[in-house]
Structure 1
Amino acid sequence: MTRNLRKLYSAALAMLVTLLLPVVVLAAGKEIIILHTNDIHCGVADNLGIDKVSQYKKDLKKQGHPVALVDAGDAIQGAPIGTLSNGESIVKIMNAVGFDFVIPGNHEFDYGMERFLKLASRQKCGYYSCNFVDVKTRKPILKPYKILTLGGKKVGFVGVTTPETLVTSTPKYFQDKDGKFIYGFCEDQTGEKVYRAVQRAVNNARKEGADYVFLVGHLGTNGSISYWSSGAMAANTYNIDAVIDGHSHELYIPPHKVTNKAGKDVLVAQTGTKLQSLGRITIREDGSISSDLIQELKAADPKITKLVAKENKRFDAILNQPVGEAMIDLTIDDPKTGKRRVRCSETNLGDFISDVYRSVLDTDIAMENGGSIRNTIKKGVFTYNDLLQSFPFGNMCTVIEATGQQIVDALEVGVSNYPGEHGAFMQVSGMTYAIDSRVPSGVVVDAKGNFVEVKGERRVKDVMVGGKPIDLNGKYTVCGSNYILKDGGNGLVMFKQSRLLKDGVMMDVDAIMEYVQNHLNAKIKEGYENPYGAGRIVIK
């Protein structure tokens, strides 16, 4: 009896192995797929939709493909669902989708360091960055890399976060109570420190047996400091198979390649923003690697669709509250080209928010950095949700007393990249100025990107306050956001020693609500008809 059972068991086992063999061979023969996103900025229901990304990953797995889904930063901030949940709703959705590797972008820190570290502990796959360090010990705060086994191969992912984070998020979040930086990103004025941090992590991943290594970076190209860009990172390192990029919201048309330090061409991929596309990197059986962008997906994961709707519904009562009516589009873009304009030129939405600040806070001047203005307010009735889409940072209204010299220094920083973009480009009220683009920028910054001085001729000319030339030694009341006037955001540290007159009076969106309802009778019309603004900023 026992012998017969043994024979029966052996036969059954042999049959099972025979049946399974083709499946194993088929799975091993499938291409490895790396799906990637960047700069989602809470746009989980925008464009492709995160529910379709989730289903696509599942479908690839069903087809036998080994698959990993990675994100290159700036996922949890940028829309009301992020602002009102302090990032938690997006982390919850990312966990449900099943991201395998995630890095922090500069805006992951916008809710404060304590909050980021708490969210990092809730991110199931973890956050990774090889260059986010404790300044004192120089040790990484997060794990620098992760190795996944995909299709029998070990695939390493190394995270790197732009050192610009120190000034493009809120600087005080990286400082102690005395204003001394306690966190850093291997910043210097050449890029060498961060190149070394990346190479060290890549080498360690290879030593652990990684067959492939991908750098997942929040670095960017357009508007990024050149030596911290993804192209510079690829060019100054080696043994990286491809770079998955973010930060600059660009669509790199495949195959986008950069020659690395060893003379080898390396793919660099980026997918735009708010799920405009889904990146797909394919590792074939022969070891060759290719990339493409997916811009259409049909099937959606019903569980993720339901979860996104549930998270959005939590805030419906607040978000659907009507604020007023815009009789024209208040724009951040050039209506002729569709390109973003608010970070390099005047727009009517820039004029409007600056007027809001100056009227509500009753100051000589208002200054609003273009990087804080994120979305056009469309013609028609607009809601609190629309305001939060345009102003998602929760910036607080602040008033300082500043000298004319500090004011023109700030303007000079804002135009330093012109005609390129700069987050510190100033939209203004109560003043006008001109930009002479023929003059090269003389702005000098330190290793962290903070303003030091202006050398040589200035690009900013003809600065007028209340119709009179600005007095460099005079003092003016200036209102704007705490990010710029108090916290030194975008490297504007010239205001750090200014006398603080009003601190955190109200959120920017609440100031807009007050202005629209109490000063404009809930209708925005006269004075903002021209999308290019009222002529407060002139280009020479």
Structure 2
Amino acid sequence: MLRKSIVLLMVLLLAFSFACKPKAEEPAVAEVTPTLAPTMEPAALDKDLAILYTNDVHCAVDSGIGYAGVAALKQQLLDDGCYVALVDVGDAVQGDAIGTLSKGSYIIDIMNEVGYDVATIGNHEFDYGMNRFFELRDMANFPYVSANFVDLASGAPVLEPYTILTFNGVKVAFVGVSTPFTITSSTPAYFQDANGNFIYGFSQANGPEAFYAVVQAAVDSAAAEGADYVIALTHLGIDASNSPYTSSELIENTTDIDIVIDGHSHSVIECERVKNKDGTRVLLTQTGTKLESVGMAYITKDGSLSTGLISDFAEKDADTEAFIAQIQAQFEELLNEVVASSDVDLVIFEPGTDPAVRIVRNAETNLGDLCADAYRYISGADVAFVNGGGVRTNIDSGEITYGEIIKVHPFGNMLCMVEATGQEILDALEMGARAVPEENGGFLQVSGLTYEIHTYVPSSVTLDENGLFVSVDGEYRVKNVMIGGEPLDPAKTYTLACHDYLLKNAGDGYTMFQDNNFLLDSIMIDNQVLINYIVDGLNGVVGADYAEPHGQGRIIAVETMP
């Protein structure tokens, strides 16, 4: 039955470009012209090519289809007589305890076992530091590619811009493209030297046109090398907050890419057809996140292209299952240790939504309150911040294990406390609120203060070319800030607790605290901060004070002018 379902998907892909939704005036078949080397006759496949793809797995090694399912699917396609390539589009090594405890190496081991052929980098590939990223790259049995991850001193790509796989003489190029917002979506200090000068970039300094040109140059180089097809592996996403560097905008400003396999926004896109700079339709696809589905791009012997998603596949490769089980056994006992309990559900998603709607990046939640309270309790600060992007998953009521805490705070950030003026705190709140009601990983959950976001006021935050805070040049949408029950005093000095990612390393673009006086410097890892607060501050139980999913009224959105 399982094999029949895959065969049926292949038939659908062949017949009408599965999941493409054509406009009324367009034919149902996605007609895409492959990129051909300029002076060569096109080579021909002697059997169909299936390109399996994953994105934003975030350490979910056995959820959804799971890596053992990916391995089984790959083998089934090989047994059915197809050529098969397996690619990943970034954010694989971070997101759960299996990544945190091994600093990514367990994930690379599993990807090697499954047999990946090529990958591009997401912003979270850098979460364990630049040196560790290079170590992980060297551990991989497959190349990481990125056309726009560059050494600023030389201007040269840090990684190969693309790799070419050959099937019966047919050359398929895989061009890597990384989000230009990687620096602020990871830890800016990792891309700087010891003096705070940026030494790595993502072709963002000169604006979107320069970025598109860098990608186009890689595509042209691959075509000149004889590529018959060009597949872009893009960790860009489709969210408005990623503009002007979304995958759709990349397609619209380039030529000669046949398929864009995307990531970063966790979007489910079976197949969209986006016009490129020449008006040719390019297929765009993305699988969502955490192996809830696996993508398959299909190139037939006659050159037809199509994409689709596979989510109903239960078969597992026994060797891969055993390999993952062996790794999991190494830290299972630690993860299952009960460290506290909760009488209430603690959330980052809107309760009752299906699919789940994340709210921790644009509104207050009870888990956001709890995490911020933990920083303030441990440090004794007047005020504490936690970025919404650093609070990663719900905690259900009942026993809380160490593994669950790591899932909430998987990054290994360290508690710090600084002296900060009221004006710096106000600027930080404005920076975090600039995208509301849209999501922003830098949205601030708070403790020790309350504030309003007047969303009818356009954001006047100015960022530099790296996405770092420069200034607020107009009316503040953040108003009525109260600290300890008193109005914020811009000239007063307060103590502010958060983590090194935001205070020291300009994470999410917060530059205003880097030169401040640090009263506490990297004293405790984030997950231990949360555990200690629940155990010592709450006597081991998260109680009724945190019962309301939308928090305690610390952050109020005002949508219309009073």
Superposed pair shares fold, TM > 0.5: yes
Match of 2:533 in 1: 515
Map 1:61-460; keep pairs closer than 5 Å: 61-188=78-205, 190-222=207-239, 224-252=241-269, 254-337=270-353, 338-460=356-478
Deviation at 1:151, TM superposition (A): 4.6
What do residues 376-425 of structure 1 show as CA deviations (whole Å, max 9, x unaligned)?
01111011100011110001011011111111111111111111100110
Q: Indicate which of 45, 64, 88 corresponds to 1:47.
A: 64
Provide the C-alpha distance between the structure 2 equivalents of 1:472 and 1:367, rounded to a whole number of angstroms. Answer: 17
What do residues 490-539 of structure 1 show as CA deviations (whole Å, max 9, x unaligned)?
11111112111101110111111211112222111131010010100001
Deviation at 1:30, TM superposition (A): 3.1
Q: Indicate which of 540, 551, 556 corresponds to 1:533.
A: 551
SS at match of 2:268: coil
Provide the C-alpha distance between the structure 1 equivalents of 2:88 and 2:370, rounded to a whole number of angstroms. Answer: 35
CA contact (8 A) 1:223 1:248 kept: no
Provide the C-alpha distance between the structure 1 equivalents of 2:436 and 2:77, rounded to a whole number of angstroms. Answer: 44
What do residues 120-172 of structure 1 show as CA deviations (whole Å, max 9, x unaligned)?
01111111111111100001111110111125411110001111111111111
Q: Which range is displaced more, 220-229 or 166-175?
A: 220-229
CA contact (8 A) 1:67 1:150 kept: no
Deviation at 1:225, TM superposition (A): 2.4
Provide the C-alpha distance between the structure 2 equivalents of 1:269 and 1:439, rounded to a whole number of angstroms. Answer: 35
Q: Which range is displaced more, 510-519 or 35-44?
A: 510-519
Instruction: Calculate percent identity across the aligned residue pairs.
Output: 47
Letter of the structure 1 residue corresponding to residue 184 of structure 2: V
Q: Cα 1:215–1:28, aligned 2, differ >3 Å: closer, same or farther?
A: closer
Match of 1:500 in 2: 518
Q: Cα 1:223–1:475, aligned 2, differ >3 Å: closer, same or farther?
A: farther
In structure 2, list runs of 5 or more residues that go unmatched: 1-43
Match of 1:18 in 2: none
**Greater than 6 Å deviation, 4+ residue runs:** none
SS at match of 1:227: coil
State the TM-score, normalized to the length of structure 2: 0.90
- CA RMSD between the two structures: 1.2
Provide the C-alpha distance between the structure 2 equivalents of 1:354 and 1:518, rounded to a whole number of angstroms. Answer: 15
Letter of the structure 1 residue corresponding to residue 273 of structure 2: K
Q: Cα 1:224–1:97, aligned 2, differ >3 Å: closer, same or farther?
A: farther
In structure 1, list runs of 5 or more residues that go unmatched: 1-26
SS at match of 1:52: helix
Deviation at 1:223, TM superposition (A): 5.2
Deviation at 1:90, TM superposition (A): 0.3
Match of 1:3 in 2: none
Provide the C-alpha distance between the structure 2 equivalents of 1:265 and 1:458, rounded to a whole number of angstroms. Answer: 42
Letter of the structure 2 residue corresponding to residue 346 of structure 1: E
Letter of the structure 1 residue corresponding to residue 415 of structure 2: C
Match of 2:26 in 1: none
Q: Indicate which of 37, 45, 58 corresponds to 2:75.
A: 58
Between the two proteins, the alignment pairs up a number of residues equal to: 513
Deviation at 1:218, TM superposition (A): 0.6
CA contact (8 A) 1:83 1:393 kept: yes
Residue 542 of structure 2 corresponds to residue 524 of structure 1? yes
Match of 2:483 in 1: 465
Provide the C-alpha distance between the structure 1 equivalents of 2:427 and 2:246, rounded to a whole number of angstroms. Answer: 26
What do residues 437-461 of structure 1 show as CA deviations (whole Å, max 9, x unaligned)?
1111111101100011112211111
SS at match of 2:471: strand
Provide the C-alpha distance between the structure 1 equivalents of 2:240 and 2:57, rounded to a whole number of angstroms. Answer: 18
What do residues 5-46 of structure 1 show as CA deviations (whole Å, max 9, x unaligned)?
xxxxxxxxxxxxxxxxxxxxxx95532111110000111111
CA contact (8 A) 1:483 1:489 kept: yes
Map 1:1-16; keep pairs closer than 5 Å: none
CA contact (8 A) 1:330 1:378 kept: yes
Deviation at 1:288, TM superposition (A): 2.0
Q: Which range is displaced more, 304-313 or 280-289?
A: 280-289
Give 1 or 2 for the bigger CA radius of gyration: 1
SS at match of 2:249: helix
What do residues 330-352 of structure 1 show as CA deviations (whole Å, max 9, x unaligned)?
10011143300000000000000
Provide the C-alpha distance between the structure 1 equivalents of 2:78 and 2:130, rounded to a whole number of angstroms. Answer: 36
Match of 1:9 in 2: none
